[in-house]
Amino acid sequence: MRSDAVKKGMATAPQRSLFNALGITKEELEKPLVGIVSSYNEIVPGHMNLDKIVDAVKMGVAMAGGTPIVFPAIAVCDGIAMGHTGMKYSLVTRDLICDSTECMALAHQFDALVMVPNCDKNVPGLLMAAARLNIPTVFVSGGPMLAGHVNGQRTSLSSMFEAVGSYAAGTMTEEQVDDYVCHACPTCGSCSGMYTANSMNCLTEAIGMGLQGNGTIPAVYSDRIKLAKHAGMKVMELYEKNICPRDILTPEAFENALTVDMALGCSTNTMLHLPAIAHEAGVELNLDMANAISAKTPNLCHLAPAGHTYMEQLNEAGGIYAVMNELNKRGLLHTDLITATGKTVGENIAGCENRDPEVIRPIDNPYSATGGIAVLRGNIAPDSGVVKRSAVVPEMLVHEGPARVFDCEEDAIAAIRGGKIVEGDVVVIRYEGPKGGPGMREMLNPTSAIAGMGLGSSVALITDGRFSGASRGASIGHISPEAAVGGPIALIEEGDIIAIDIPANTINVKVSDEELAARREKWTPREPKVKTGYLARYASMVTSADKGAILKSSL
């Protein structure tokens, strides 16, 4: 056992005395030590129930012959952090979570791990840590929130942000907004649409690191507690069989994850997180793979904000395994891969039928023949830009319009809410990338303001920042290279015509190469927005969005 380094022999007597101080018995020390990484806190709705999940995991580990020991991971609520300086601190926590988990796991020599995340950066951060550590590991999330209900309609957090835009447009009263405040987010859990948290929890199943139901069983269901107990028991099986994350996180597993991503219509943030996880697993994941997989993968689900179905309905329809079983009817998955269940993908999904063809479209009747995410390139984005194609209305799949240029999110929001953006415009928000932000803020406020103002089917938005999974419309993010390093998005001027063709995977500004070169001669780098603290250190080390915004291993 790895943990023998801290508990066996006379040399470890001092360590044993500290275990004794913890109240851990000799009998417990004879068993494998299983670290349970808990993201519990009292500020994130998706994490407020994780103490219950952790208790269930502990019971499962103990039932299966291990000694469970809990340690924490931090978590930021993206919704609470949205629209102010706090959003600079969201993406950057992914690396803090990964690094601190590495520190705790190796400092204390755990034999196995159970990861208990739920929200946006905890899931990818802990997947990165699992790949880096390569210790037998299982994931069990806190589960999604139930949908809210307002005026007889299901609602979610994106409905809440759009209500603010409707209020600004004069189409909703303060009392109506308050009705959304009280009813849009009714329970604990990760927000109820196919936003980033739920996207990543679903992909944890698809990639093989979570058990069936990890992504879809609602947080308030007792089945979630049972799942946590099974996760605790399963990690002991993985320990006995020495099945480790890098046995699971193979190149083919990432192809499976991308395929399910396209079928579900996941958040564009998956295009940041999957490359970062792959990097830690020693797997190269080029974003060109996304378009290649999208071209042959039908989009089967339109969950909020792309449609009017929610995570609880996906769960009732059969969950991720039912989606995977549909995909497998066309041979789109690698089915011989080992997973954290101890079985192969094919064994996992066998017999998992689609119980609601309105929620999970059959493979021969998809929403579209191609996947839910598209990677675009052009003279604005030589290295890439990303759009959630499944959440774009048909009339905006191809669009040309004048650029309305803003050098920060706040200025863009003021212009949108002030009625200065009109039909046909292309809002450009730059200097909000990984370095320029720093921290690559999500743009849910401006996208929701556009939708709330009734411009969602006529205005596009492009940015070197990123979008919440709750964003919808022609919202193209992750423009790389970013403005802060002199990417072409920094050269766009007010009124330039921008041409977007999502089916053709292109985005260009209709300016000659000679004119762009002349503008580049005049361009000068901006002073860093933040010069001290963690954000400054992050900005000095972070790479571009098309590389997953990973940190350079050396300065």
Q: Which residues are annotated as a binding site for Mg(2+)?
A: 78, 120-121, 442
Instruction: Find out whether 172 and 163 touch, Cβ atoms under 8 Å.
Output: yes
Which of 144, 151, 235, 223 is CA-nearest to residue 191?
Answer: 144
Provide the 10 A C-beta neighbour count for residue 555: 6
Give me the helices (H) in 194-309, please: 196-207, 222-241, 245-248, 251-264, 270-280, 288-296
DSSP state of 8: S
What is the distance between the alpha carbons of residues 326 and 495, in angstroms, rounded to a whole number? 46
DSSP per residue over 396-420, as a string? GSEEEEEEEEESSHHHHHHHHHTT-
| Alpha-carbon dihedral angle through residues 342, 346, 350, 355, given to the nearest 10 degrees | 100
What is the distance between the alpha carbons of residues 5 and 134, in angstroms, rounded to a whole number? 17
What is the distance between the alpha carbons of residues 123 and 117, in angstroms, rounded to a whole number? 5
Instruction: Find out whether 426 and 228 touch, Cβ atoms under 8 Å.
Output: no
- Catalytic position from the list 384, 448, 458, 468: 468
Sheet holding 506-509, edge to edge: 374-376, 384-387, 475-480, 460-463, 426-429, 398-406, 497-501, 506-509
Both structure tokens of 7: 């508990």
3-state DSSP call for residue 248?
A: helix
What is the distance between the alpha carbons of residues 28 and 10, in angstroms, rounded to a whole number? 18
What is the distance between the alpha carbons of residues 7 and 191, in angstroms, rounded to a whole number? 42
Q: Is 468 a catalytic residue?
A: yes
Instruction: Find out whether 267 and 194 touch, Cβ atoms under 8 Å.
Output: yes
What is the distance between the alpha carbons of residues 139 and 124, in angstroms, rounded to a whole number? 11
What is the distance between the alpha carbons of residues 371 and 449, in angstroms, rounded to a whole number? 26
Both structure tokens of 125: 């951060």
Which residues are known catalytic residues? Answer: 468
